[in-house]
Amino acid sequence: MFAKPDEPALESLSNPIVRYFAATRPAFLSVTLVACLIGLATARFGGFPLQTGKALATIFFALVAHGGINVINDYYDALNGSDAANHGRIFPFTGGSRFIQNGILSRSRMRLFGYAQLFVVILAGLWLMWVSGPGLLWIGLAGLFVGWAYSAPPLQLMCRGWGEPAIVAGWTLAAAGADFVQRGQAASLPWLAGLPFALLVANILYINQFPDRQADAIAGKRTLIVRLGPETASWGYLFIALFAYGAILFMVAKVLPIYAAAGVLALPLSFSAARELIARAGTPALLAGAIKRTIIAANVSGLLLALGLAFAAPPP
Domain that holds residue 104: 10-311
Is 4 contained in some domain? no
pLDDT in tens, 50-98: 999 999 999 999 999 999 999 999 999 999 999 999 999 999 999 999 9
| In a domain? residue 5 | no
Considering the entire predicted model, what is its pTM? 0.95
Collapse the DSSP code of 101 into the 3-class scheme (helix H, G, I; strand E, B; otherwise coil) and give the result: coil
Please determine, for residue 1, whether its predicted confidence score (pLDDT) is greater than 60. no
**Number of domains comprising the chain:** 1
**In a domain? residue 2:** no
Query: Does a structural domain hold residue 133?
Result: yes
The answer to the question of residue 316 being in a domain is no
Helix 267-280 × helix 189-208 angle, to 10°: 30
Return the amino acid letter for 8. Answer: P
The answer to whether residue 200 is domain-embedded is yes
Residue 91's nearest CA partner among 292, 275, 293, 229 is 292
Q: Which of 288, 228, 238 is nearest to 88 (CA)?
A: 288
Does 3 map to a domain?
A: no
289: how many CB neighbours lie within 10 A of its CB? 12
- Enumerate residues 6+ apart whose C-beta is below 8 A from 127: none
Q: Tens digit of pLDDT for each residue in 104-152? A: 999 999 999 999 999 999 999 999 999 999 999 999 999 999 999 999 9
For residue 1, is it within any domain? no
Q: Are 260 and 248 in contact (CB under 8 A)?
A: yes
Cα 280 to Cα 192, 201, 254, 293: the distances in Å are 33, 21, 38, 15
Q: How many CA atoms lie within 13 A of 228 on its CB side?
A: 17
